[in-house]
Chains A and B, each alone.
Chain A
Amino acid sequence: MPKRIQPIYILGVIPALFLAFFFFYPLANILRVSFTGEIGVQDGGIAEILQRPFFWRILWFTTWQAAASTLLTLAVGMPLAYVFAHFDFAGKTVLRALTTIPFVMPTVVVAVAFTSLLGRTGLLNQWLQALLRLDQPPLSLEQTIWIILLAHAFYNVSVIVRTVGGFWANLNPAITEAASVLGASGLRLFATVTLPLLMPSIAASSLLVFLFCFTSFGVVLILGGLRFATIEVEIYRQAVSLFNLRAAAFLSLVQMAITFTVMSVYTRLQARTSIPLDMRPRSVTARRPVTTIDRAVVLLSAGFMLFVLLAPLAALLWQSVTLGGQGITLDYYQELTINRRQSAFYVSPLTAVRNSLFFALVTVVLSLALGAISAYLLARPRSRLSAALDPIFLLPLGTSAVTLGYGYIISMGTLRTSIWLVPVAHTLIAMPFVVRTVLPALRGIDPRLRESAMVMGASPRRTWREVDVPILARTLAVGAAFAFTISLGEFGATLLVSRPDVPTMPVVIFRALGQPGLLNYGQALAMSAILMIVSALGLIAIERFRFEDIGEF
């Protein structure tokens, strides 16, 4: 049979071009501007930036807050991971599904939720004040490092619980049994056997958490106020508020260098966690809690987890209907439909909901199409091209949203004012997630399934329709839900590239938070609550499709 070019290589040009134009080109521009750029007002050279103490202060703060957040996350996450891995209890499935909440909750929503729980006028302060009959709210966490660390921990405990817990649950119990037969017990057993086995997975997930916190934007910007700035926040300030393009470009460059380094270490570590360690299905390793201590541990952990996951969100909902102390009211929701300022740049907040949904749908379509093609390209076994493309297609994962948005500002020319730039940016951020969801499923399809379809008379196209499509449908649904929620909640890039007259929900929330007065704050709460609910719907879709996976077949 004559050899011809596989159609996937022709289709593969599309995502490659997309990445080239909307990812590598802006990145190259950042590189150019930071070294040779002449735009900018009060720029000095790189040498001057390096001499300024503010640069080192920001780098130091970004690093230590990320490290502290990671440690706090580990301290909270590891015991929970243990409980999840070793016990079977009622509601475990639901609880595990709930751990997806932080993955899909927009940073803006989480930030607002944290202020509504822990802020000056937050629920906790209100209750403590009433309970202890105080004149002043006892907790002043707002605009402190503590509320930032807590929000980061909220975000990332699930990462530890899910990855370390999953790894732990699949460890063959015979290994620790063998060790205890050989005389190890208690702490010694943990330190000499369990911990070394878990170490690659702990290290990998810690790095991931560190990376998330290192590039944290929304949480620090909203909860930290003007006192705190990560590199990511500083890029935004330099670019938008101070119009210091060169400083912004240089900061982006520094951040990228660090994140790519961490990413490559992470990838290497992750490859180690996939060493076949004689894994066992969970059901074998998990047991029902029997002793009183077991029960207490499980009850406390599950309760704590439930509280941590749901309390901020519940506080947000509650505050959004009670703010102002006039009892339950829907005023703030009704206010969303009214355009009070009558200005061209200030649309009625509810149109932001429409914008967000529209952008999210476009993102879903774009990222599914591009992601699926990319996954097919990358899934080709023994292909040198696929091996070379693999890291390139995952690179956008390591690039921060603000950097990307900033790159668009300086590279897109007339496209810069196009409303389509928002879904393009969202697609770039969502696409790696789609690829990562689809790729394992695609690689997992037994090639013999396709072969048997062909032997039974299915043409190549028919084989694809009968075998690939139905098997991948669920995974694509998960990818779509991810893309949808990512787009809804995306804040960093959107803040930079969205047109003022076509804002998304997170942008409107951020604006409202920046305005004085109860009404604006109430509107921010109401809008956050709506965003939270829509994101929760996305989460339900993800969990629905994800659970019955067919990976084992």
Chain B
Amino acid sequence: MNQSPILRLSGIRKRYGPNTLALAGVDLDVAPGEIVCLLGPSGCGKTTLLRVVAGLETPDSGAVWFNRQDLSVVPVHQRRFGFMFQDFALFPHKSVAENVAFGLRMERLPAAKIKTRVEEMLRLVGLQAYAERSVFELSGGERQRVALARSLAPAPQLLMLDEPLGSLDRTLREELMMELRAILKRVGVTALYVTHDQEEAYAVGDRIVIMLAGDIVQIGAPQAVYRQPADRSIARFLGFSNILPAQRHPQQPDLLHTAIGDISSEQIAGAESLDRLLLLIRPESARIDSSQPADARQPYLRDHRQASHACLGLTGYLSGRSFRGSQYRIALRVPAPQDDLILTFDLPAYQSSGDPGALHPVELPADGELLRLTIYPNLITVMEDEAEPDHATQRSAG
């Protein structure tokens, strides 16, 4: 990080009872103006971490530093942070404007100043006309905006958002993700954003912090995290299921051996130095290969040249499909010596077939028929094959 951090967490530990370790010694630096998304499954401790930073929970050990000040002696109401709760926690007995004004009143600002600031905040979230409404009259999306305006109104030095889109339906969430990021960036506030939805994290965050079982397991830019998950459990959490173990061939060092066929090592970037590895085959890495009929006598996975480019060929039996509009999600059963592999792929519903001027609907064979795919090796990610880290103990504490 090229800027000195405004927020520094060091060794935060929190235990609920003897059997639940919510936070296992978390360290994290956040730069001014940065939006950091804490991404993890429910129970991974991300909400607890947020509550520790806000001062709503006291850690068993470790410290929260803000602007080089240790916050452990500062009670929650003196931290001057903002916090947006999942179900917004709007005050039911106050109007929209009164909700937004709350933090300003706590600062004892003069009434006139509060009024202009409330107007300004409501304009920021596009709810100028709603000031006098009761919060009961608002839709889910409107409540979300009021909650945002309320938490931003006192110009907090740090804004925490706990699943702020979690209770909204899918379409609304998509729409508000972008808007939320735009508003946060316009205001320039430093933000910690908790979510379990990776798309939301990618869309909102400058940096993604992946938490599993009370610990930070990977930090990086959204694209970097998506492209290179650090290990198998992170890959699984991010939804990747096509994970294929491979070993370097003892006699032919340029060959990688897998359960469904051998491929040349030089095709796979990042594989050079490893003897045992995991190939993460992304669902979007495949296209239908209709250049020749599928043939079960060939190895299921093999090197394959397509128009002078090195590719991989994969053959398998189509075992399921679901039509998603612009694409098909298919399941491909690939016979292997022990258990058959089931690999899933997203195939575009339209594909160019030689004619550069047109895209044609993809025709899939019947279920159970052979299907031949081309795999683009640059979309395969290599991970070290180590014993799976013990993130297995999931907890209930949010």
Q: A448 to B154: give the CA distance in the assembly, Å.
A: 19
- Known contacts A451-B83, A451-B85; A456 and B91 CB within 8 A of each other: no
Q: Which of A449, A458, A463, A466 is the one whose CB lies under 8 Å from B89?
A: A449
Q: A457 near B: Cβ within 8 Å?
A: yes
Q: A471 near B: Cβ within 8 Å?
A: yes
Q: B194 near A: Cβ within 8 Å?
A: no
- Which B residues are in CB contact (< 8 Å) with A1? 58, 73, 75
A residues sitting closer than 8 Å to B (CB atoms) are 1, 446, 448-449, 451-460, 462-463, 466-467, 470-471, 550, 553
Q: B102 near A: Cβ within 8 Å?
A: yes
Q: A456 to B85: give the CA distance in the assembly, Å.
A: 12
Q: Mark B73-88, 1 if CB is under 8 A from A, else 0.
A: 1011111111101010
Q: Are A456 and B93 in contact (CB under 8 A)?
A: no
Whole-angstrom distance between the Cβ of A381 and the nearest chain B Cβ: 14
Q: Are B102 and A455 in contact (CB under 8 A)?
A: no
- Known contacts A1-B75, A451-B56, A451-B83; A456 and B89 CB within 8 A of each other: no
Q: A322 to B86: give the CA distance in the assembly, Å.
A: 65
- Which B residues are in CB contact (< 8 Å) with A452? 83, 85, 89, 150-151
Further contacts, 16 of them, CB under 8 A, given A453-B102, A455-B77: A1-B58, A1-B75, A446-B87, A446-B89, A448-B85, A451-B56, A451-B76, A453-B91, A455-B55, A455-B76, A456-B77, A456-B151, A458-B77, A460-B77, A463-B77, A466-B102
Q: Are B78 and A457 in contact (CB under 8 A)?
A: yes
Q: Are A457 and B92 in contact (CB under 8 A)?
A: no
- Which A residues are in CB contact (< 8 Å) with B82? 455-456
- Which A residues are in CB contact (< 8 Å) with B107? 457
Whole-angstrom distance between the Cβ of B36 and the nearest chain A Cβ: 18
- Which A residues are in CB contact (< 8 Å) with B83? 451-452, 455
Q: B41 near A: Cβ within 8 Å?
A: no
Whole-angstrom distance between the Cβ of A459 and the nearest chain B Cβ: 5
- Which A residues are in CB contact (< 8 Å) with B56? 451, 454-455
Interface residue tally of chain B, by bracket? 20 to 34
CB-based nearest B residue for A449: B89
What 7 A-B pairs come out closest when comparing CB atoms?
Answer: A457-B106, A456-B103, A448-B89, A455-B83, A553-B92, A470-B93, A452-B89
- Which A residues are in CB contact (< 8 Å) with B58? 1
Q: Mark B46-80, 1 if CB is under 8 A from A, else 0.
A: 00000000111010000000000000010111111
Subset of 5 A-B contacts with CB under 8 Å: A1-B75, A454-B55, A456-B154, A462-B77, A471-B93
- Which A residues are in CB contact (< 8 Å) with B89? 446, 448-449, 451-452
Q: Are A457 and B85 in contact (CB under 8 A)?
A: no
Q: A449 to B83: give the CA distance in the assembly, Å.
A: 11
CB-based nearest A residue for B51: A451
Q: Are A454 and B77 in contact (CB under 8 A)?
A: yes
Q: A453 to B82: give the CA distance in the assembly, Å.
A: 10
CB-based nearest B residue for A453: B102
- Which A residues are in CB contact (< 8 Å) with B94? 470
Q: A467 to B103: give the CA distance in the assembly, Å.
A: 13
- Which B residues are in CB contact (< 8 Å) with A467? 91
- Which B residues are in CB contact (< 8 Å) with A462? 77, 106
CB-based nearest B residue for A550: B92
Q: Are A456 and B92 in contact (CB under 8 A)?
A: no
- Known contacts A448-B87, A457-B107; A550 and B80 CB within 8 A of each other: no
Q: A463 to B56: give the CA distance in the assembly, Å.
A: 14
- Which B residues are in CB contact (< 8 Å) with A470? 93-94
Q: A125 to B87: give the CA distance in the assembly, Å.
A: 62
Whole-angstrom distance between the Cβ of A440 and the nearest chain B Cβ: 15
CB-based nearest A residue for B82: A455
Whole-angstrom distance between the Cβ of A449 and the nearest chain B Cβ: 5
- Known contacts A470-B93, A471-B92; A455 and B78 CB within 8 A of each other: no
Which of A451, A453, A457, A553 neighbours the largest number of chain B CB atoms within 10 Å of its CB?
A457
- Which B residues are in CB contact (< 8 Å) with A451? 54, 56, 76, 83, 85, 89
- Which A residues are in CB contact (< 8 Å) with B73? 1
- Which B residues are in CB contact (< 8 Å) with A463? 77
Q: A457 to B89: give the CA distance in the assembly, Å.
A: 15
Q: A459 to B94: give the CA distance in the assembly, Å.
A: 19
- Which B residues are in CB contact (< 8 Å) with A459? 77
Q: A348 to B85: give the CA distance in the assembly, Å.
A: 62
Q: A446 to B92: give the CA distance in the assembly, Å.
A: 10
Q: Are B103 and A457 in contact (CB under 8 A)?
A: yes
Q: Are A456 and B106 in contact (CB under 8 A)?
A: yes
Which positions 111-169 of chain B face chain A at CB distance < 8 Å? Answer: 136, 150-151, 154
Whole-angstrom distance between the Cβ of A270 and the nearest chain B Cβ: 27
Q: Are A449 and B91 in contact (CB under 8 A)?
A: yes
- Which A residues are in CB contact (< 8 Å) with B91? 449, 453, 466-467
Q: Are A454 and B85 in contact (CB under 8 A)?
A: no
Q: A457 to B54: give the CA distance in the assembly, Å.
A: 11
Q: A452 to B135: give the CA distance in the assembly, Å.
A: 16
CB-based nearest A residue for B83: A455
Q: Which of A455, A471, A553 is the one whose CB lies under 8 Å from B54?
A: A455
- Which B residues are in CB contact (< 8 Å) with A457? 77-78, 80, 103, 106-107, 154
Whole-angstrom distance between the Cβ of A502 and the nearest chain B Cβ: 41
Whole-angstrom distance between the Cβ of B228 and the nearest chain A Cβ: 36
- Which A residues are in CB contact (< 8 Å) with B87? 446, 448
CB-based nearest B residue for A452: B89
Q: Which of A454, A460, A550 is the one whose CB lies under 8 Å from B93?
A: A550
Whole-angstrom distance between the Cβ of B16 and the nearest chain A Cβ: 12
Q: A470 to B80: give the CA distance in the assembly, Å.
A: 24
Whole-angstrom distance between the Cβ of A130 and the nearest chain B Cβ: 56
Which of B55, B75, B85, B93 neighbours the largest number of chain A CB atoms within 10 Å of its CB?
B93
CB-based nearest A residue for B160: A455
Q: Mark B251-266, 1 if CB is under 8 A from A, else 0.
A: 0000000000000000
Which of B76, B87, B94 neighbours the largest number of chain A CB atoms within 10 Å of its CB?
B76
Whole-angstrom distance between the Cβ of A281 and the nearest chain B Cβ: 14
CB-based nearest B residue for A470: B93
Which positions 325-378 of chain B face chain A at CB distance < 8 Å? Answer: none
Q: A9 to B109: give the CA distance in the assembly, Å.
A: 35
Whole-angstrom distance between the Cβ of B108 and the nearest chain A Cβ: 9
- Which B residues are in CB contact (< 8 Å) with A550? 92-93
Whole-angstrom distance between the Cβ of A338 and the nearest chain B Cβ: 50
Q: A471 to B75: give the CA distance in the assembly, Å.
A: 24
- Which B residues are in CB contact (< 8 Å) with A454? 55-56, 76-77
Whole-angstrom distance between the Cβ of B180 and the nearest chain A Cβ: 18
Which positions 27-44 of chain B face chain A at CB distance < 8 Å? Answer: none
Q: A449 to B93: give the CA distance in the assembly, Å.
A: 11
CB-based nearest A residue for B147: A452
CB-based nearest A residue for B56: A451
CB-based nearest A residue for B81: A455
Q: Which of A458, A460, A471 is the one whose CB lies under 8 Å from B106?
A: A458
Which of A1, A446, A454 neighbours the largest number of chain B CB atoms within 10 Å of its CB?
A454
Q: A553 to B154: give the CA distance in the assembly, Å.
A: 25
Whole-angstrom distance between the Cβ of A513 and the nearest chain B Cβ: 47
CB-based nearest B residue for A462: B106
Whole-angstrom distance between the Cβ of A64 and the nearest chain B Cβ: 49
